[in-house]
Chains A and B, each alone.
Chain A
Amino acid sequence: MTPLTPPPIDYAAVAPLLIVLGAACVSVLVEAFLPRHQRWPAQVALSVVAIVVAGVTLGVYAGDAPAQGVITLGSTMAVDMPTLFLWGTLLVLGFGSLLLIADRSVEPGGAFVASALERASAGAAPGSTTGPSGVDPEHVDRSYGAPGDAPTMQTEVFPFTLFALGGMMAFVAANDLLTMFVALEVLSLPLYLMCGLARRRRLLSQEAAVKYFLLGAFASAFFLYGVALLYGYAGSVRLSAIAEAAVGTDRSDALLFGGLALLIVGLLFKGSVGPFHTWTPDVYQGAPTPATAFMAACTKVAAFGAIARVLYVAFGSTRWEWRGVLWAVAIASMVIGAVLGLTQTDLKRMIAYSSIAHAGFLLLGTMAITQAGTSGTLFYLLAYGFTTIAVFGIISLVRTADGEATHLSQWAGLAKRSPLLAGVMTFLLLALAGIPLTSGFTAKFAVFSAALSDGMAPLVVVALVASAIAAFFYLRVVVLMYFSETPADGPTVSVPGAFTTVAITLGVVVTLLLGVAPTLVLDWAGAGGFTG
């Protein structure tokens, strides 16, 4: 038999991805073999080391990476400048989220569900030691195991995080649609589970997980149908092959545009762009807050990284046909996010609607098939991610005896009791509103100007109006914190542990830095374009 030649693999280029996924596998083994009380420190150490090492490897490689990028692993992965930037973004945001996830000081034992033994000893029905579904939520909320024991948590959340992170990294680098689909599933499945792991308000959390799972499966199906149609059109699932096929053939465009439509629906779902946003508020509210932070920051990066790549590489030449439709989607998203955010009374839901509005703004950047559009989008993702992580970090600190106090009325008068926390929150909300000297302003400016120079002036006007409306509900929180009377049984502000402190500080500092001196990061974001 003639030997087959294996595809060449540029290990240096994909090393960060391999490190994260490898660490995820090791993390499963840690779950399997270490005794319960050693798991938390081991998992935290492993995850932190893995992300840091991956980051260093990425930095070393990026230092002298070819400007036009490399395509490796048998043309399934494109490691180009946007990929490197997105990987870096995902790793730092993942690091921040991981710190929030690992924190055990704010909530005794962490925000995630208590480990099975504790729940069993807390009086759950016998015989249902596995799976959260068998546990009576009444009991979990009251007791954390035998008296005197330090409460522990279900440490599976660490491999989940690493797998999801690895999936996101593969997602933004995928050079063909099948790889992209596999990566989509790898990033989604752990997220579904993480949603259902909240220690408090178990039913809400599980409901969110099931909703997310069902709708996510629905969206995956759309994505896969789209891939099938595009394969039928181009005879290949490679992004560049689709672009080549679209130029100068007389094949039926119905397959091309039908495929694009279904594909993009799947991607827009992940990015929580309206009108495919319906899961977002429920899931953001129900999921444990650190997991929400992870989803809001990293999933957004992954989804928009992939949208930008697909539109840029595979559909750049046909943009005049699809752009009108995405205009409508972007407008819908901005309007839904900005207007419905006004009526929200739960802080996490409000941030969810804010993220829907932001998704609309981001879509503007991805629609501009230009260098400026790409770099603006990348910058926006980084800036938004850090702000969001810090916001959720702060939300996790304001608590009553029943857990987090996310109802807006509970935040009234918070500035009187904790001026520092209120001040930081105010700054972050101003960043979300896009006030100058915060990263939010620079990011909006970069994206809007890119959209403007690519002929989307009316859309930019809509975006400006939407951000003007959205600013109102951010400021409402500020007013509540500063100008309202404190309710008698108001929440207390926990003293954050080291992990949460670092995560929030990181978010705030980056938000400020990117607002005051964004040049360096803008340069990185603009270092090179997508390779197909």
Chain B
Amino acid sequence: MIALAPLLFVLPALGALINFLAGRRANAWGHWLGVATVVASFVIGLLLFFETLGLAPEERTREVSLFDWIASGSLNVDFGLRLDPLSLTFVLLITGVGSLIHIYSVGYMSHDPGRRRFFAQLNLFVAAMLILVLGNNFVMLYLGWEGVGLASYLLIGFYQDRPSAATAAKKAFLMNRVGDVGLAVAIFLIWLELGTLQYTDVFARIGEVPGGTVLAITILLLLGACGKSGQFPLQSWLPDAMEGPTPVSALIHAATMVTAGVYLIARTSPIYNLTETGRLIVSLVGVVTLLIGAVIGCAYDDIKKVLAYSTVSQIGYMILAVGLGPAGYALGIFHLLTHGFFKAGLFLGAGSVMHAMNDDVNMRHFGGLGKHMKITFVTFGLGYLALIGFPFLSGYFSKDAIIEAAFAQEGWQGWVFGGAATLAAGLTAFYMTRLMIMTFFGKERWRELKGPDGKDYHPHESPATMTVPMIVLAFGSVLGGFLLYSIGLYEWLAPSVGELRELEGGVLPHALVPWLVVAFSLLGVVIAYLVVGRRPTPVERPSPVSVPVRAARRDLYANTINETLIERPGIWLTRALVFVDNRGVDGAVNGIAAGLGGGSGRLRRLQTGFVRSYALSMLGGSVLVVAALLAVRFA
């Protein structure tokens, strides 16, 4: 049955290819083809999962080599798959949630002229993501990594007529490139040290690598993870990515792709196991991010952006968990799975609300929607309870486990990690309750307003293709945590990420932690009720606000910081180079004026096109080369 493994990613890839190439004649059936391929992949994934479950734990890691991809002298790269508990877990998450979201999109995109293109790109994403998690070496990982980046870029910019979508796509792309460079350098470092990129060989021999290099590799891998997963300091692209269609936000920017960073660290756990400093940096990044995400989430009025910052924050939890080492890898994956369910469900719910409200995303225009769309309200409500960690729902099991593990650290780390995670749990409860109240309860503020398209609002429940996936995901949100916990997820993952270490010691008694977390969450809910629920919500956002709120509304100035540190020097470098190069600039075109290209239009009159200036620059270069060579020799 293992021979079926390549079909896992080949089927969605074929779906993408056919949808891309078939042109208009596929408009009628292209979306169903997209759904069929992903569902087929899910079935194959299930078969492989049950087959693997029948094997002894030490036999559960299997490799399939498809062909020699690059084989030349010292450079050997296999086009091979690694089927082990970790990759199969991801396969089920990707294809399972992916299938639901494909079905949902059939309804959501039914009025969109670009539906076939949308499904082609969504299929492309699924294929790339499967290659990412299934590959048995770092080059395959990189292939998938670039592939999902490309698909995400295309899908964020899907609504091509909106400049904001193009800008968001560009931002996502640029920030991801920063991370990709880190990943690429890490891969090259590994190759340089060990001469191989197969996981098996690398993990077997990573002990031979000097400690400093291992630390460098872990930090560079973390940089890659930060780019893909929207972690500090590269977090600000993820909320902007909500410009894409909502199913994309659910699948790519909540459930699967953005968790690739967590996968990366869990997959390379043998490397992280060697360096405590590396793991500490991972945890710190996670802690900073989970706080940032939670704080900013409190300030936005855009329903998707609140959910996006919530995603940033929750992935922060996962990164914190995998940074805790053997005591945390399985916990991070656990939270990743439950989060995949309830966050996908929340996004689909948000999409359903937008569908009903003329694509409006401003929660201040909502209110009292619970009466009008009951299924959405109930499924969204269950996802909400799961997210804030309501006892015995999904989030309760996975998030509390992480907070417990954080408190089980010794010394300042226990207090800082555990304290931050608990505080963020309270904040999560606050902003999610605020979202619930503003959307589903209270006065029906939309009755006096017009939609962004100038029409009146007529909230209505969505069609069955949309509600069914929401219901399925709601079941996952309610039961997923308990099920995964009780069927032994930790033991299942052990062959891939090692046995989960029992918690011992720490700064707080373990029994106390769940109570503490629940208390904080409750506090958050109550405060939200007091602040938002008891008085009418103004339709316009109040403008003179306190300093913290203002900072949160501006993403804690992340964009300003990026602009100052990265964009400005980039622009100046470009200008300087153009100045030296004397030509080649016709001014900016089609939105490239922003970013690196900015300002070059002003330099037009400096372009000469004269042979004499070209010759002069050549002469200058030659003089430099001659002088430098002689200087090197005789200095």
Contact = CB atoms under 8 A, between A and B. Distances in A.
A422 B93 CA distance: 33
A141 interface: no
B587 A345 contact: yes
**Interface centre among A210, A335, A471, by most B CB within 10 Å?**
A471
B629 A257 contact: yes
B147 to A, nearest CB: 8
A372 B73 contact: yes
B70 to A, nearest CB: 6
A446 B75 CA distance: 8
B625 A329 contact: yes
A348 B161 CA distance: 27
Interface in A517-532: 517-519, 522-523, 525-526
B391 interface: no
Nearest to A409: B589
B68 interface: yes
A408 B180 CA distance: 27
Contact of B615 (A214, A281, A461): A214
B74 A258 contact: no
**Interface centre among B153, B180, B628, by most A CB within 10 Å?**
B628
B177 A460 contact: no
Given A372-B75, A484-B590, A522-B70, A475 B153 contact: yes
Contacts, number: 206
B49 interface: no
Contacts of B74: 372, 453
Interface in B577-628: 577-578, 581, 583-590, 592, 596-597, 600, 609, 611, 614-615, 617-618, 620-622, 625-626, 628
B21 A423 contact: yes
Contacts of B634: 253-254
Contacts of A336: 577, 581
Interface string A211-234: 100110011001000000000000
A449 B609 contact: no
Contact of A269 (B75, B154, B590, B618): B618
A126 B19 CA distance: 58
A258 B626 contact: yes
A261 interface: yes
Contacts of B588: 343
B441 interface: no
A2 B37 CA distance: 83
A403 B1 CA distance: 57
Interface in B39-75: 67-75
Contacts of B146: 435-436
Contacts of A261: 622, 625-626, 629-630
Interface stretch (B183-191, B356-364, B379-387): B183-191
Contact of B70 (A254, A479, A518): A518
B139 interface: yes
B160 A257 contact: no
B275 interface: no
B573 interface: yes
B618 A468 contact: no
Nearest to A471: B177
A236 interface: no
Contacts of B583: 281
Interface string A240-262: 00000000000001100110111
B633 interface: yes
Interface string A312-338: 000000000110110011000001100
Nearest to B573: A339
Contacts of A321: 629, 632-633
Interface stretch (B103-111, B166-174, B266-274): B166-174
A468 B180 contact: yes
Contacts of B622: 222, 261-262, 265, 276
B451 interface: no
A279 B621 CA distance: 14
Contact of A464 (B143, B154, B185, B573): B185
A482 interface: yes
A300 to B, nearest CB: 18
Nearest to A257: B629
Contacts of A448: 188
Nearest to B614: A278
Given A265-B621, A457-B192, A526 B578 contact: no
Contact of A265 (B185, B189, B584, B625): B625
**Interface centre among B157, B173, B620, B621, by most A CB within 10 Å?**
B621
Contacts of B72: 375, 446, 518-519, 522-523, 525-526
Given A342-B574, A372-B75, A519-B71, A436 B143 contact: yes
A476 interface: yes
B556 interface: no
A346 interface: yes
Nearest to A475: B173
Interface string B181-217: 1001100110110000000000000000000000000
Contact of B618 (A275, A457, A464): A275
Nearest to B625: A261
B618 A215 contact: yes
B500 interface: no
A329 B621 CA distance: 9
B197 to A, nearest CB: 10
B548 interface: no
Nearest to A423: B20
A472 B173 contact: yes
A16 B425 CA distance: 74
B452 interface: no
Nearest to A328: B628
Contacts of A325: 625, 628-629, 632
Contacts of A182: none
A325 B634 CA distance: 14
Contacts of A52: none
A437 interface: yes
Contacts of A468: 177-178, 180-181
Given A321-B632, A449-B191, A483-B157, A342 B618 contact: no
Contacts of A282: 609
A249 to B, nearest CB: 14
A408 B143 contact: no
B628 to A, nearest CB: 5
A472 B174 contact: yes
B628 A436 contact: no
A485 interface: yes
A61 interface: no
A380 to B, nearest CB: 13
A215 B614 contact: yes
Interface in A491-532: 516-519, 522-523, 525-526
B134 to A, nearest CB: 14
Given A340-B578, A340-B584, A375-B73, 4 more contacts: A325-B628, A329-B625, A343-B574, A460-B185
Interface of A: 210-211, 214-215, 218-219, 222, 253-254, 257-258, 260-262, 264-265, 269, 275-276, 278-279, 281-282, 321-322, 324-325, 328-329, 335-336, 339-340, 342-346, 349, 353, 371-372, 375, 408-409, 412, 419-420, 423, 430, 435-437, 441-442, 445-446, 448-449, 452-453, 457, 460-461, 464-465, 468-469, 471-472, 475-476, 479-480, 482-485, 516-519, 522-523, 525-526
16 contacts: A211-B611, A265-B621, A275-B617, A340-B577, A343-B600, A344-B586, A345-B587, A375-B73, A419-B20, A420-B21, A449-B191, A461-B181, A479-B169, A517-B67, A522-B71, A525-B72
Nearest 7 A/B pairs, CB to CB: A522-B72, A483-B160, A436-B143, A278-B614, A275-B621, A261-B626, A468-B177
Interface of B: 20-21, 23, 67-75, 139, 142-143, 146-147, 150, 153-154, 157, 160-161, 166, 169-170, 173-174, 177-178, 180-181, 184-185, 188-189, 191-192, 573-574, 577-578, 581, 583-590, 592, 596-597, 600, 609, 611, 614-615, 617-618, 620-622, 625-626, 628-630, 632-634
